[in-house]
Structure 1
Amino acid sequence: MILANVKSRVPSALSIAVCSVLTCSILALSPQSRAMSLQQAVLQAQQHDPWLTGSDEKEHALTAQGAAADTLPNPEFSLGMLNVPSDGFAFNQEPMTQFKLGVKQMFTRGDSRAITRQHFDELAAQQPLLRQDRLAQVKLNVTLLWLDLYTAKQSVGLSIKQRDLLEQLIDIAQTHYAAVYTSGQKNLTQNDVLAAQLTLARLDDRIAELRTRQGTALANLCQWLLKEPDNNKHDPSVVIAARFEECDVDDTTGSTLPRLMPLPMLASVDRIDRHAIAQLLSQHPRMKALNQGIAASDSDVQLAKSQYAPQWGVNASYAYRQDDDANRSRADFWSVGISVDMPIFSSVKQDNLLAASHHQKEALRTDYRLQLREMLAQVDSLHGQYRSYTRRIAHYEQVILGNIAAQKQVSMANLSHDYGSLSQATEVAIIELDARLEQLNLMNKQQRTQAKIQYFLPAQNQNINVSSQSDTFKAGSPSFKGVMSTEQVSAQPSEINQERHP
């Protein structure tokens, strides 16, 4: 009679346990309304990125250097006493003694001033392109760290959900063990209970490791979300202590899965069009910055050519002569002249400088082609990875998780009717947890790959939308097929009894 009462209570207890675990998991995995969104995190990281400030300062410095280079050399003024007699040092003794004031102005070779300014302006124009690339890199890095944090949080949530289920199974099994022990049936032994408790202890250690990963992911994300005040200006000190504000994140940060926009048509086909992808990559800010560097090197070539031109100069002077001892007036002197610096003996030097500028320009062109090849190969590799992850996720949804759910359903039903063992039920629970964690990791890799592809194809980038609830963990989604509802648990015993007792 006691055994019958225990058996009748087991299905109800299992139903309550699974139902409570399902309810808690949905509440735990649902996003918080106050959680920081990915858009806010990206915007905050971009607004407080010191690299952007440094790049802006470099642009202003290069622009100032260009303006300084487009100026004439300073004129040279001279002041002197000429032909002063050594026997008396009298200024009016000799007619050639004079007080001379002169000025000399040199001009740059050819158009070197304008070319030098153009060179610095082109280098300065490279900085906005580098800042665009930096903004895209910050967006990519924050997105990847957000995905890592989300994966870590969901892994902890899934593990805690399975732990609660194992704990409920152990409690029910202990009650069941006490009942069957008094009746003399030994289908469930104490060793099964101890093995399940060991599995629970190992799962606790696994949860602790996942929490460590979550803390690491949060710390890495905080690296980009720190708000650093502008404490370098108006401070004469060379060594300045950095002052940072607290990282503006809480426990709800990273609780939502960012839903990235679909990939462009060029990257969503079975085989990508390399020529079309190369055309898109040529518009990437990184490639534009390299192209701007090539334009700056072309100015170096033009500057080297201008060094073959002569360097002209003009000079003028005025010489004052004092009247003689008889007060006879002496005429003053005016002098005007032109000077020219001809690069005759430095032709070998000029030839080598011109050759060096040509080689440097070709080297930058080679870097451009190598960078384009590297980015094209990365897009091709990411495209293959994305399609592979998509197929594997679908395989988990359609095959693996469905089989595990069926096995879990049978093992729980057998355990509730004393047909199965507790070790089998706990083993199925751990297998289900491993499968769900692996599926979660695959989703993380897929999202990371998609974010990287969108970084390389900026022309196809679109805004990131954060879903109000993750499709993967909705109660009605296929990912929850392995969790049985109350009606499913209560319906299983009668079906199994009909199979075993026709």
Structure 2
Amino acid sequence: MCRSSLPRSKFSGVVFLRAFIFLSVLPVGNALALTLNQAEQLAIQSDPLIESLKATSRSFEEESFASDTLPDPRLRFGAVNVPVDTFDLDQENMTQLKVGIQQDFPAGDTLELKSEQSKYLSRSALALASDAELKILRDVRETYLNLYYETSAHQIILETKGLFSDLVTITESIYAAGRASQQDVVLANLELARLDDRITKIQAMEEGYRSTLSQWIGDPAWNSLSLEFPELPALPENVDLNEIIPQHPLIRSESAKVDASRQMIEMAKQEYKPGFSATLDYGYRSGTNNDGSDRADFVTALVSMDIPLFTENRQDKKVSARVHKTAAAQHSKDDKIRFLKQYYDKNQYLWQRLGQREKLYSNSILISAKNNTTTALTAYQSGVSEFNTLMRAEITELDIRLEDLRVRVDRAATQARLLYITGDANNETK
């Protein structure tokens, strides 16, 4: 391959072009640019799951008041001891038109326990609503960050593509003058085509993330993004998982479910106690006695009660079943505690390592890649290196810039996952 000497005027033009392209490909800011904070607020405001869980919580809260109230009394009325031969209400002494009222009294503390159970279920649903909000914030943040990466990578590649397009033009002119090989021209066009392929892939990823984001925020997901790197709330220092995890909404919901199950055990135990029913009837009698006096009316008062004598196959089994359900709820809670601890530890270690990589790129790798490209361009201009060396340097710098962006985005996404556990100033795990 023959080496060429790039004219100094064209060399200066390439340097100027790099700066010009960098400015020209930047998206113009506008009032419709979507920020991360706006995406978060839109997602929370319009999420049906959060509203559904809050409505469920309110329904259980209302049920707690209703459950602590005695059942409605029953009205009793009818005709008693009516002779079927004549259906004459005056014929027999014991014929009555009876009206009464009956009130049931559930066994033991059943009503109070049922009310407490509804309160715990209300707290569980409300805690799940808080957990759903934290999950939405986490998922929206991760999706927005990935979308930011794709849009920013698109701009970076467009910048490089503009430079490559100019290099193709310069190489073709040098080749026409007989100072460059045809392979240089082919290589330049090949790399330009590969950049077009990268752009196509990035556009597909960008559209996918916008589609995902739109399920939370709708049409604003298709707006341009803010140019600034998305900022997340800072992570708290000196995190004590043994203190934070029990206060996490997911665990508070599980704790409330365990408490509700314990109330079910106590409710089952109440069935060992008798339930009562009180009845008061008034019987009207028409007609007269043999002596001509009016027949007296009757009043009847009754009390009935359950007799839980055969408990082995009913009460005992019901209590045992409720105990097993409570144990299952406790195991579910313990499993989620273990999951959250593992989730935090894994992302905490990843966040720290990504921080180390971010510093390495910022302090060393990016600078070295930039210097390598500048050196390769100078060497090619001076005729001491080949064109493919310059192209490799340009591609390497492009890859490193994209890797640096990927590291910063991945670290922010990891921070979003950690904030799901710890909460932040605006959305604490309360």
Q: TM-score, normalised by structure 2?
A: 0.91
Q: Distance in 1 between matches of 2:233 and 2:296?
A: 89
Aligned residue number for residue 51 of structure 1 = 49
Q: Distance in 1 between matches of 2:335 and 2:247?
A: 15
Task: Give the counterpart of 2:281 among 302, 308, 317.
Answer: 317
Superposed CA deviations along residues 377-399 of structure 1, whole A, max 9, x for unmatched, are 11111111112212222333344
Question: 1:38 touches 1:143 (CA, 8 Å); kept in 2?
Answer: yes
Alignment of 1:93-242 (within 5 A): 93-179=91-177, 181=178, 188-226=180-218
Residue 238 of structure 2 aligns to a residue in which SS? helix
Structure 1: any 5+ residue segments left out of the alignment? 227-246, 268-275, 465-502
Residue 33 of structure 2 aligns to a residue in which SS? coil
Residue 100 of structure 1 aligns to a residue in which SS? strand
Alignment of 1:45-444 (within 5 A): 45-179=43-177, 181=178, 188-226=180-218, 247-249=219-221, 251-266=223-238, 276-321=240-285, 322-324=287-289, 327-444=292-409
Superposed CA deviations along residues 108-159 of structure 1, whole A, max 9, x for unmatched, are 1111112111211221122221221122112111111110111001110111
Q: Distance in 1 between matches of 2:260 and 2:249?
A: 16
Counterpart residue type for residue 417 of structure 1: S
1:447 is displaced (CA, Å) by 0.7
Quickly say closer, same or farther: Cα 1:48–1:8, change in 2 above 3 A: closer
Larger displacement relative to structure 2 (422-431 or 78-87): 78-87
Counterpart residue type for residue 444 of structure 1: V
Q: Distance in 1 between matches of 2:392 and 2:267?
A: 76
Quickly say closer, same or farther: Cα 1:75–1:201, change in 2 above 3 A: same
Q: Distance in 2 between matches of 1:167 and 1:410?
A: 20
Q: Distance in 2 between matches of 1:391 and 1:85?
A: 99
Larger displacement relative to structure 2 (402-411 or 276-285): 402-411
Percent pairwise identity: 26
* Pairs aligned (count): 423
Question: 1:150 touches 1:256 (CA, 8 Å); kept in 2?
Answer: no
1:352 is displaced (CA, Å) by 1.4
Question: 1:149 touches 1:254 (CA, 8 Å); kept in 2?
Answer: no
Counterpart residue type for residue 304 of structure 1: A
Quickly say closer, same or farther: Cα 1:329–1:40, change in 2 above 3 A: same
> Does 2:418 match 1:462?
no
Q: Distance in 2 between matches of 1:168 and 1:300?
A: 77
Q: Distance in 2 between matches of 1:251 and 1:91?
A: 85
Superposed CA deviations along residues 169-215 of structure 1, whole A, max 9, x for unmatched, are 22222222333x1xxxx5x2012111211110111111111112112
Counterpart residue type for residue 58 of structure 2: H
Q: Distance in 2 between matches of 1:345 and 1:168?
A: 94
Counterpart residue type for residue 425 of structure 2: Q
Alpha-carbon RMSD across the aligned residues, in angstroms, is 2.4
Residue 78 of structure 2 aligns to a residue in which SS? strand
Quickly say closer, same or farther: Cα 1:45–1:88, change in 2 above 3 A: closer
Counterpart residue type for residue 293 of structure 1: K
Question: 2:34 touches 2:226 (CA, 8 Å); kept in 1?
Answer: yes
Aligned residue number for residue 21 of structure 1 = 21
Question: 1:92 touches 1:325 (CA, 8 Å); kept in 2?
Answer: no
Residue 102 of structure 2 aligns to a residue in which SS? strand
Q: Distance in 2 between matches of 1:218 and 1:44?
A: 14
Question: 2:82 touches 2:89 (CA, 8 Å); kept in 1?
Answer: yes
1:407 is displaced (CA, Å) by 2.3
Counterpart residue type for residue 287 of structure 1: I
Q: Distance in 2 between matches of 1:462 and 1:78?
A: 61
1:34 is displaced (CA, Å) by 5.0
Question: 2:32 touches 2:223 (CA, 8 Å); kept in 1?
Answer: no
1:249 is displaced (CA, Å) by 4.6
Structure 2: any 5+ residue segments left out of the alignment? none
Aligned residue number for residue 229 of structure 1 = none
1:37 is displaced (CA, Å) by 2.1
Residue 60 of structure 2 aligns to a residue in which SS? helix
Q: Distance in 2 between matches of 1:338 and 1:292?
A: 38
Q: Distance in 1 between matches of 2:205 and 2:5?
A: 45
Question: 1:78 touches 1:102 (CA, 8 Å); kept in 2?
Answer: yes
Larger displacement relative to structure 2 (446-455 or 351-360): 351-360
Q: Distance in 2 between matches of 1:7 and 1:411?
A: 15
Quickly say closer, same or farther: Cα 1:256–1:309, change in 2 above 3 A: same
